[in-house]
Amino acid sequence: MTTTNSDKPRVLTGDTPTGRLHLGHYVGSIENRLRLQDEYDCYFLLANMHAFTTRAERSREIHQDTIEIVKDWLACGIDPNRSTIVLQTEVPAIAELSWFFAMLIPFNRVMRNPTLKTEIDSKGLGDTYPFGFPMYAVGQCADILVFRPKYVPVGEDQVAHIEMCREVARRFDQVYCGVDSHAEDEDYEAQGGVFPIPEALIGRIGRLVGTDGKHKMSKSLNNAVFLSDTPKQVKKKIGAIYPGQSREPNDPGDPDINPVFTFADVFIKDAGAVAEMKERYRKGDNLGDGHVKMAVVDAVNELLEPIRERRAQYEGPQGDAAVVDIIRAGTERANVVAEETLWMAKEAMSLDFWRRSLETK
């Protein structure tokens, strides 16, 4: 059964296809999405254009990464019958709104966006990044606002982008829809604004540490446990985490400086059991580091097992084709909302010369 665009409040979020998803994505955002699927009209965007900001010459790879990330989503339980999976590059209204929004935000404001600055540093982009790199932050405002969502579930690192998006929405509504600049955020639509002021929803874990025990889990830092890792790979990666100290099972230890306990807190469901392990660790009550690691390995594998099973259904070229069908159906549905928003924006901006119809199948 396929749902049509519903009257439920909308949620939009997205991922840049950079490779496979890892545990940090799961607890930072995916988990939240699964929870929201029933209550909201959810749109999950494949930000494939954004992947070109740093990999323009690797377009084939981006194509495949786009398909792989959808496999991860489906494997996690994103249900394409309830939620809409959207391919950014086939939603023309996003590119068009990006231009409109680029006129409403000072260049220097974009360049001060802390998430962009951090990315320039951490990815070593120096001063050779393309014009399109800072432009993606403006594009992200369009990704979001084209769906006029109430919530945007994201990881902590995206909050600066959502804040910029909120500023753009307010500015548009003030400039073109006559909304009072003192209006409360929740009143913008009621006062005639085209865009609601969306709110970020931060996941249970804003930032998950990687298996290096230091940095945020990330594919590029080589410290990630991927959702598609085999039980053996999980065991090997968790097993190799440095526990922050050197001790024997009967030495008192400090669980608070041991990153394995961070994983225990996040992934072991029985909080009492974790508390007990910490207590024994502190006392040096016959609790080896290997034991704590195994408990974490088991918990992570328990989470990943159903994900691996579902992912297996999409193996091979047939799986790829099935995924493309899903993206295509979702994008078609998304374009109904996107075209409607674009027209509302054009009307507000006196660009309503005529209303176009667009073949977006």
- Minimum CB separation of residue 16 from ligand TRP in Å reads 4
Nearest to 48 by CA among 69, 77, 71: 69
Nearer to ligand TRP, 47 or 177 (CB): 47
Tokens 């990881």 — which residue?
155
**HSE of 139, CA atoms in CB hemisphere, 13 A:** 24
- Minimum CB separation of residue 47 from ligand TRP in Å reads 3
Residues 111-140 that bind ligand TRP (CB under 6 A): 140
- Minimum CB separation of residue 111 from ligand TRP in Å reads 17
Q: Do residues 17 and 62 lie in contact, with contact meaning Cβ atoms separated by under 8 Å?
A: yes
Binding window for ligand TRP (CB under 6 A); candidates: 43-51, 68-76, 179-187, 254-262: 43-51
- Minimum CB separation of residue 107 from ligand TRP in Å reads 19
- Minimum CB separation of residue 137 from ligand TRP in Å reads 8
Nearer to ligand TRP, 136 or 281 (CB): 136
Query: CA-CA distance, 201 to 204, in Å (whole number)?
Result: 9
**HSE of 12, CA atoms in CB hemisphere, 13 A:** 26
Q: Is 22 helix (H, G, I), strand (E, B) or coil?
A: strand
Helix ranges (H only) for the chain are: 23-25, 31-36, 48-55, 59-76, 92-102, 107-111, 114-122, 132-145, 159-177, 231-239, 259-267, 271-283, 289-312, 316-348
Query: CA-CA distance, 69 to 78, in Å (whole number)?
Result: 11
Phi (first) and psi of residue 20, to 5 degrees: -75, 155
Nearer to ligand TRP, 56 or 275 (CB): 56
Helix ranges (H only) for 146-200 are: 159-177
Among 10, 16, 86, 87, binds ligand TRP (CB under 6 A): 16
Query: Counting contacts by CB under 6 A, is residue 50 touching ligand TRP?
Result: yes
Nearer to ligand TRP, 88 or 258 (CB): 88
Count of residues in contact with ligand TRP, rule CB under 6 A: 14
Query: Counting contacts by CB under 6 A, is residue 149 touching ligand TRP?
Result: no
Among 14, 17, 28, 80, binds ligand TRP (CB under 6 A): 14
Query: Counting contacts by CB under 6 A, is residue 24 touching ligand TRP?
Result: no
Binding window for ligand TRP (CB under 6 A); candidates: 11-19, 30-38, 204-212, 225-233: 11-19
Query: CA-CA distance, 97 to 264, in Å (whole number)?
Result: 44
Sites of contact with ligand TRP (CB under 6 A): 12-16, 45, 47, 50, 140, 143-144, 152, 154, 158
